[in-house]
Structure 1
Amino acid sequence: MSARERFAKNLRAARKAKGLSQEALGELADLHPTYVGSVERGERNISVDNMDRLARALELDVVDLLRQPV
């Protein structure tokens, strides 16, 4: 599994665990919800800055979103 796929899978799981919609996460991270959805599907080559914005919005460290899913 690539880093992009790991990030996408972990992002979706973390968002759902917090009970957030893509719209709500986008608002918290100041990113468009369509962008959040495309990141979750692994369609985007996301920048480190946007990875950090999403992680902070979820109250996580970006490293947590790159770990091998269990």
Structure 2
Amino acid sequence: METKIREFRQEKGLTQQELADEAGVTRQTINALENARYNPSLLLAFKITKILDKDSIEEVFIIDEGSLE
């Protein structure tokens, strides 16, 4: 799953560690999310979306329609 976490995090001036602290996860988790190596739980996706001041999860997390089949 691709994400726009890095882009939106940098827009807000947050480091990976700062975002991780606010979301209650490790910096490594944020790194894995930014590099599409980890799919978050719905709760984590929601938390990150709110921390990044976005209105919908779909703004931050891009689901590859092919992977849903």
TM range (shorter): 0.7 to 0.9
The two structures have a TM-score, normalised by structure 1, of 0.77
Structure 2 stretches of 5 or more lacking a match? 63-69
* Runs of 4+ that moved beyond 3 A: none
**Cα distance between partner residues in 2 of 1:29 and 1:41:** 17
Task: Tell me which protein shows more strand as a share of its residues.
Answer: 2
> Between the two proteins, what is the percent identity of the paired residues?
21
Task: Tell me which protein shows more helix as a share of its residues.
Answer: 1
The two structures have a TM-score, normalised by structure 2, of 0.78
Partner of 1:13: 7
> Please, what is the CA RMSD of the aligned residues?
1.7
Partner of 1:66: 61
Structure 1 stretches of 5 or more lacking a match? none
Give the number of the structure whose alpha-carbon radius of gyration is greater. 2
